[in-house]
Chain A
Amino acid sequence: GAGVSQTPSNKVTEKGKYVELRCDPISGHTALYWYRQSLGQGPEFLIYFQGTGAADDSGLPNDRFFAVRPEGSVSTLKIQRTERGDSAVYLCASSLRGGGSSYNEQFFGPGTRLTVL
């Protein structure tokens, strides 16, 4: 089946604008994760959904960042009043389940490269 897809692949915006990044997880995967990878760094956790609810949003840097997953499938990461420091690759991953005592493999999408001018 299809893997995790993310749209757009590239997004260029101006400082202060609002952006939405979309993630389509693997069908049937209940857990969905957002990570952010800045230049020269590894991916950093932002938020994790189990079903429709955000189970852990401890990685969101501030209240300009928000994510939703209203039907437990597609997720949208929303960034308000973008700043140049928000420029990064935003990665989405999904897994069959989240949490629990055993690890469930996360499958990553190709990412959305966000550039804030």
Chain B
Amino acid sequence: DQQVKQNSPSLSVQEGRISILNCDYTNSMFDYFLWYKKYPAEGPTFLISISSIKDKNEDGRFTVFLNKSAKHLSLHIVPSQPGDSAVYFCAASVAGGGNKLTFGTGTQLKVEL
């Protein structure tokens, strides 16, 4: 049972444009959501997060939106840069659950010149 889903395995965007990565979840107990970025042969690195009590969190070029009623979150990157090319994982956590993360399958973002 995939509790966190990323239905787009890949996304290609031109440099300077907006990248939108989507994530859906099924477990209503999730109350903290994160995006991780992963380059080949490296571990995932934390990018941005959002608590379930908010619907938007912004950090520089990165914004995460949360729609609890739809159990959907998205990551917006604007403007996209070639260095953003990586695999992006959506992850979720349950308060009191020891912070263990449930990950989606990832979206490979390619930012083209």
Contacts and interface: CB of A to CB of B under 8 A. Distances in A.
Q: Do A and B bind each other?
A: yes
Interface of A: 4, 31, 33, 35, 40-45, 48, 50, 55-56, 59, 91, 93, 95, 98-111
25 contacts: A4-B43, A33-B101, A35-B101, A41-B105, A42-B89, A42-B104, A42-B105, A43-B44, A45-B100, A56-B98, A93-B43, A95-B99, A98-B98, A99-B96, A99-B99, A101-B96, A104-B99, A106-B99, A107-B46, A108-B43, A108-B44, A108-B45, A109-B43, A110-B41, A110-B43
B22 interface: no
Contacts of B100: 33, 45, 48, 56, 59
A48 B46 contact: no
A43 B89 contact: yes
Contact of B101 (A4, A43, A55, A99): A43
Interface of B: 4, 6, 32, 34, 36, 41-46, 49, 51, 89, 91, 93, 95-106
A91 B101 CA distance: 12
A63 B36 CA distance: 30
* Of B4, B34, B42, B103, most A-chain CB atoms within 10 Å: B103
A53 to B, nearest CB: 12
